[in-house]
């Protein structure tokens, strides 16, 4: 069960990252180009939100069953990364993305909607990229 969840969490990260990158690029280009807010934009931003929340659910399950999480061994880089750094960074990123989506829904004009999504999703993307255990990092994991 653990191995399957790790592979699902690792594999689905690519879908979440692609959607998040597409959402940020779309929002910023529409914001700068003063374009309208279409139903396609809304769906892209919603699917991005759903994908990061799915990752959150898988990540929280892994937080409780993973042998890499041990809160009593903070001096070890691997345990500290998965117990604190990865978890905190991802939670903050998902909160930012959720705030961006919620605030953009309530915004009255298209430019404000695009600006809110671009800023909040962009900040979330940066935090996610910094919090992923990339293979080239000391505490890295596999690509999939």
**Domain map of the chain by residue range?**
2-131
pLDDT tens for each residue of 64-86: 887 777 667 777 777 777 778 88
Closest CA to 25 of 118, 129, 126: 118
- Give the whole-number percent of the chain exceeding pLDDT 70: 92
What is the pLDDT, as a whole number, of residue 82? 75
Rounded Cα gap, residues 113 and 27, in angstroms: 8
Average per-residue pLDDT for the chain:
90
Place 20 in a pLDDT band, splitting at 50, 70 and 90.
Answer: very high
pTM for this entry = 0.89
Closest CA to 81 of 92, 72, 91, 68: 68
Phi-psi region of 34 (alpha: psi -120 to 50; beta: other; left: phi over 0): left
């Amino acid at each position: 069960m653990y191995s399957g969840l790790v592979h699902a969490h690792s594999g689905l990260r690519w879908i979440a990252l692609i959607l998040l990158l597409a959402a940020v690029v779309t929002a910023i280009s529409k914001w700068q180009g003063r374009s309208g807010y279409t139903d396609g934009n809304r769906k892209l931003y919603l699917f991005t939100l759903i994908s990061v929340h799915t990752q959150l659910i898988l990540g929280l399950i892994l937080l409780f069953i993973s042998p890499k999480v041990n809160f009593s061994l903070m001096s070890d880089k691997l345990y500290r990364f998965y117990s604190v750094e990865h978890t905190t960074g991802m939670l903050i990123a998902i909160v930012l993305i959720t705030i961006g989506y919620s605030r953009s829904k309530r915004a009255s004009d298209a430019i404000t909607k695009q600006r809110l999504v671009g800023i909040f999703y962009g900040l979330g993307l940066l935090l996610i990229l910094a919090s992923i255990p990339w293979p080239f990092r000391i505490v890295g994991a596999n690509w999939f």
